[in-house]
Homo-oligomer: A and B are copies of this chain.
């Protein structure tokens, strides 16, 4: 008799684990808005091991509408095990002089994807996320054509996080740029006791068997909101760049550890700064 699993809950045949073992196959539709914000605010979100990018204030706000599965594809016929939506914010950076990207915030609407994200260095929280889709029949759908409008919304912790609209103009020659370099995230898992994490690794995301549809490009509108638990006003849009819509698939076997983080990071204290996030800004709104 065996006992275990790739993830807990451990069980006699491993099937109870919240995430099945890799490889993980992904198929998704993307809606991206690129913009520029305060370069200092982006730098403040990078660990010591990463330096600012050349276009240091460039940010990609990304909505993704996913279906994923493991090697035997069994999740596809049980879609609550395979479908989820994401909203994430990606910035540029450099690692040992080479361009990289980094996911600084990310939200998702399923538990298996949330935990699979933490394994790979994506610090996912739960959210409600909606993204316009294309259907094969009927009038209640945009088509992939100039003038079509795609929208998306994200709300987490009873707070509005983001709203985006991309209006398609033409097929893109470049595609999105900010999230193009290899993503360098941080795998972080606290210790049983104390403030030094048990796992604290800078990792490079990879993936194989990449497949991408033609990429539509157009104008982008994006609003980030001012009452979130994260400080999104620090990285709000100062200048909108372009929007993109496309389909993408790939397969992931895990991530590569490229460095161990020093800790604590720049003297981050254990002080709970959360209290500031609960101040009401309401009575002065009039």
Contact = CB atoms under 8 A, between A and B. Distances in A.
Interface in A1-42: 1-16, 18-21, 25-29
A174 interface: no
A251 B138 CA distance: 8
Interface string A143-159: 00000011111110111
* Copies of this chain, count: 4
B155 A159 contact: yes
A237 B268 CA distance: 38
Interface string A41-58: 000110110000000000
A76 B266 contact: no
29 contacts: A4-B265, A4-B268, A7-B123, A8-B118, A8-B186, A9-B125, A11-B231, A12-B45, A13-B276, A14-B273, A15-B274, A15-B277, A16-B231, A18-B125, A67-B133, A67-B140, A70-B272, A72-B274, A74-B277, A77-B149, A79-B132, A135-B249, A136-B213, A153-B158, A153-B159, A163-B282, A193-B254, A193-B255, A194-B254
B76 A142 contact: yes
Contacts of A199: 189, 198-199
Given A28-B135, A160-B225, A160-B227, 19 more contacts: A13-B276, A15-B230, A15-B231, A16-B105, A16-B229, A27-B139, A28-B137, A67-B135, A71-B272, A76-B140, A78-B163, A110-B126, A111-B126, A135-B249, A136-B213, A198-B199, A199-B199, A236-B285, A237-B285
Interface residues on A, range: 35 or more
Given A44-B12, A270-B21, A249 B190 contact: no
Interface stretch (A91-99, A175-183, A216-224): A216-224
